[in-house]
Structure 1
Amino acid sequence: MRAVHFGAGKIGRGFIADLLHNTGYEITFVDVNEKLNAEMNQYHNYYLYVIQEDYRRKEIDKVSALSPITQPEEVSKAIVDADLVTTAVIADNFPKIANNLAAGLKARLDAGKERVNVIPCENAFYCGVMLKNELLKTGLLTEEELEKIAGIPSTAVDRMVFAAERDGRDGIDVGNTYELVIEKNQLVDPDAQPIKGAEYTGNLDKYLERKLCVVNGGHTMSAYIARLMGYDIIQDYFKVPENTKLTRDIMLQAGAFIEKKHGFAHEEMADYIDATIGRWSTPGVKDTIERIAKAPIRKLDPEDRMVKSAIECEKYGLANDLILKGIAAAFLYDVEGDEQAAEIKAYVEENGIEKAVTHYTGIESGSHIYEEILNAYNEYKAKKSN
């Protein structure tokens, strides 16, 4: 079996290709990194190192790579002959891969080949819909043609991955737990399981919201609060039991609305949260606050991890005070080089925090959660200045 995978970054090689390899696929990566491509074409393998198993080395073999810039015809041919196509490029980069992918699917259609699953594995709400839209924008395929040649489900993804150079080569350190949930009713065959180790569901919403609000939200809010405490590395923050408890309580607040809305059992949610915090606290791993907290404007969006959780909890009559403190901390996030943090700081200085809260979160002035965010912000600011 042959798989074409767009994106040879940490998630691409360290997560998705790992599952493809376990399923039995030979993998052709499509990536712009010529140095990495040359290495894979020279050795036809690379290595993963499992963090929790004393960095046990795992070989991913039967791999090759193509450049979408210098080898577009070869990329198209690989898609024509593929049994599966996947992506891990960050959803914002869909426009950059759309022409190559659409050209390959059109060539496959013209060759009379069967439909193929194109599975985007991205940390974005309904990434399958996003990818379809970008493919149609190219004008290379009509909506009817795209439907005729490809099944494009959305997914939810989660795995701890870090770049590492080991044994003189570019490797990846990976966690031993992961989650890849695939929207089965959008597959070519809803009863098939094209990737071993993935979970297949007819209700992706519950997994997407759990990942976004509980995992991403908990991680992000911990980072903003940790920054105010003076931490640079999130693992150092988690070494303090009180901090770990605070993060767990924040995640439980977000998890409470997920339980109400989607029917997760509380014990299941608590176990999920504990396992997640366990990953973040893994000894020997160093993950920076700067990486986790970057782009605060995006993370303060009403449909994103923090504000969405606060509003949903309010709607269900659930506690959200700790989430609101996490949101307040985001308005004080200040790190050199983060353009969005600098923009928020400038806006607050010019217009005041009162206008900034509504401007960035959409939360109405005078509402309960608005007032709580202001109170928490002023408390944080007072402590920071002392």
Structure 2
Amino acid sequence: MKKAVVIGAGQSGRGYVARYLYEKGYQITFIEENEELIKLLDEDRAFSIHFYHMDRKPVYIHGFRVYKTYSRQAEAAIADADFVFTAVGEQNLGDVAKQLKAGMEGKQKRTVVITCENGINPGRVMRTHMQNEKIEANYVVSQTAIFCSTVVIRGTRLDILSQNETYFPYDCDEFTDPFDFNGAVPIHDFEKFFKRKIYTYNCLAGLISYCGYVKGYEVYGEAAIDPDVSDTMDQLLAELDPCLMEYFGITMEDQTAFSQKALKKFKDLYILDYTIKNGRAPYRKLGPTERIMTPMRILMDHKKDPSIMQFVAAAALVYWEERQGKNGEPMLEKDPITTFCELNDLQKDDPIVKGVEKYLEKIHQNREHVVIQELL
């Protein structure tokens, strides 16, 4: 029996990674820092993954172990693991590397570390942190990209509602062995693959979550099918898809199919998700290599109008203003525009900043009734 450690027992850790591991009979150990979540997992020793369309039986996950981060039991589980999966957010991978050092020091058996995070190249980030920790052990670092939506089922202790998606792309330039997961797809040049996902899927997700939020939507799918939001996405893709086709050196047919698959998923009302959940960590998503700024710059490099993405950036700032201090969102220590400038190393007279500032003011002025197409 292969042994796998999952660092992070949240929605992705237990609702996405755990399903693949359980289906192939891996021994699963969760390592988690949230003491309340550890308590629930330790008491129940099981949870179910249900599916949006009820198009397959729920998967009943049981027989796992759960340990607190940095505990001796967690270190022993890492020392014994064949695979370690991370599901904690790219910004926390430095802390993961410290945990791995404690468990892997002197370990002879090879450990395959697979990051399940959003980012341009989280596998490389993980590898750099592990090198900085000077971990002397036999390991390889790979990565996957998550296309599957998962949410906690309200009113239950641990159950997950998931999309019935069996697609596990992984970086085969780093992990070259055959992978036994159902839906495992080896991908070469994973950074390019990840960028395409972020600049298409995640770009649209940012538009839906932040624009949906300022329009008063809680449910993500309802925001996506709102005519105002939907028209804005269509307008964006009419300009962005040809730019991404050229940027990635792919056919227009491939890029259009990719973006339309994203739209179909996001507009599926059976896939229950929330604008606030998808808008989390705006400080990261407003960064220079992320889903808002890079598509904006790609549009500008191709002499296209960046107004829609400037509006999305402004909506993200409103989200941050109104959500700061709630559910772990950091406080805005400076005004939104100054913060935006500092995140992206921009001056206040930069045309990008001027555009974002214009739409920020318009959203504030029309906060009770935001109509994107009118404000654009």
- Whether TM-score is above 0.5 comes out as yes
Change (3 A) 1:34 1:55: farther
Q: Secondary structure at the match of 2:148?
A: strand
Q: Which moved more, 1:84-93 or 1:248-257?
A: 248-257
Match of 1:185 among 170, 173, 176: 173
Instruction: Kindly state the Cα deviation for residue 326 of structure 1 after the two structures are TM-superposed.
Output: 1.9
Change (3 A) 1:155 1:243: same
| 1:207 corresponding residue in structure 2 | 193
- Give, in whole Å, the separation in 1 of the partners of 2:166 and 2:265: 10
Match of 1:156 among 129, 145, 151: 145
- Give, in whole Å, the separation in 2 of the partners of 1:216 and 1:122: 13
Change (3 A) 1:8 1:331: closer
| 2:274 corresponding residue in structure 1 | 288
Q: 8 Å contact 1:294–1:338 — kept in the other structure?
A: no
Change (3 A) 1:164 1:283: same
Q: 8 Å contact 2:8–2:32 — kept in the other structure?
A: yes
Q: 8 Å contact 1:127–1:155 — kept in the other structure?
A: no
| 1:65 corresponding residue in structure 2 | 66
Gaps of 5+ in 2: 370-376
Query: After the TM superposition, which residues 165-176 of structure 1 pair with which residues of structure 2 at under 5 Å, given as runs?
Result: 169-176=157-164
Instruction: Kindly state the Cα deviation for residue 6 of structure 1 after the two structures are TM-superposed.
Output: 1.5
Counterpart amino acid of 2:100?
A: L
Instruction: Kindly state the Cα deviation for residue 58 of structure 1 after the two structures are TM-superposed.
Output: 1.5
In the alignment, structure 1 residue 321 sits paired with structure 2 residue 301 = no
Match of 1:125 among 115, 120, 123: 120
| 2:28 corresponding residue in structure 1 | 27
In the alignment, structure 1 residue 236 sits paired with structure 2 residue 222 = yes
Counterpart amino acid of 1:235?
A: G
Counterpart amino acid of 1:164?
A: I
Change (3 A) 1:230 1:32: closer
Gaps of 5+ in 1: none
- Give, in whole Å, the separation in 2 of the partners of 1:364 and 1:68: 41
Q: Which moved more, 1:51-60 or 1:85-94?
A: 51-60
| 1:92 corresponding residue in structure 2 | 91
Q: Write out per-residue CA displacement over residues 89-127 of structure 1, whole angstroms, 9 at most, x where no aligned residue.
A: 222222333333122222423xxx3x2311111112322
Q: Write out per-residue CA displacement over residues 256-281 of structure 1, whole angstroms, 9 at most, x where no aligned residue.
A: 33321223333333333333233333
TM-score (norm 2): 0.82
Q: Write out per-residue CA displacement over residues 321-356 of structure 1, whole angstroms, 9 at most, x where no aligned residue.
A: 322332233344465441579638x525xxxx5x67
Instruction: Kindly state the Cα deviation for residue 13 of structure 1 after the two structures are TM-superposed.
Output: 0.8
Q: 8 Å contact 1:226–1:237 — kept in the other structure?
A: yes
Q: Write out per-residue CA displacement over residues 353-372 of structure 1, whole angstroms, 9 at most, x where no aligned residue.
A: 5x676444445666654554
Change (3 A) 1:378 1:191: same
State percent identity of aligned pairs: 21
- Give, in whole Å, the separation in 2 of the partners of 1:281 and 1:28: 35
Counterpart amino acid of 2:312?
A: G
Q: 8 Å contact 1:3–1:85 — kept in the other structure?
A: yes
| 1:308 corresponding residue in structure 2 | 294
- Give, in whole Å, the separation in 1 of the partners of 2:313 and 2:228: 19
Counterpart amino acid of 2:58?
A: R
- Give, in whole Å, the separation in 2 of the partners of 1:169 and 1:369: 45
Instruction: Kindly state the Cα deviation for residue 129 of structure 1 after the two structures are TM-superposed.
Output: 2.2
| 2:335 corresponding residue in structure 1 | 347
TM-score (norm 1): 0.80
Q: Secondary structure at the match of 1:153?
A: strand
- Give, in whole Å, the separation in 2 of the partners of 1:334 and 1:93: 20
Change (3 A) 1:374 1:271: same
Instruction: Kindly state the Cα deviation for residue 377 of structure 1 after the two structures are TM-superposed.
Output: 4.4
- Give, in whole Å, the separation in 2 of the partners of 1:30 and 1:365: 44
| 2:372 corresponding residue in structure 1 | none
Q: 8 Å contact 2:208–2:224 — kept in the other structure?
A: no
In the alignment, structure 1 residue 220 sits paired with structure 2 residue 221 = no
Higher helix share: 1
| 2:373 corresponding residue in structure 1 | none
In the alignment, structure 1 residue 104 sits paired with structure 2 residue 103 = yes
Instruction: Kindly state the Cα deviation for residue 42 of structure 1 after the two structures are TM-superposed.
Output: 6.1
Q: 8 Å contact 2:19–2:59 — kept in the other structure?
A: no
Q: Write out per-residue CA displacement over residues 274-327 of structure 1, whole angstroms, 9 at most, x where no aligned residue.
A: 332333333355543333334433322222211111112222344533223322
Counterpart amino acid of 1:80?
A: A
Q: 8 Å contact 2:115–2:143 — kept in the other structure?
A: yes
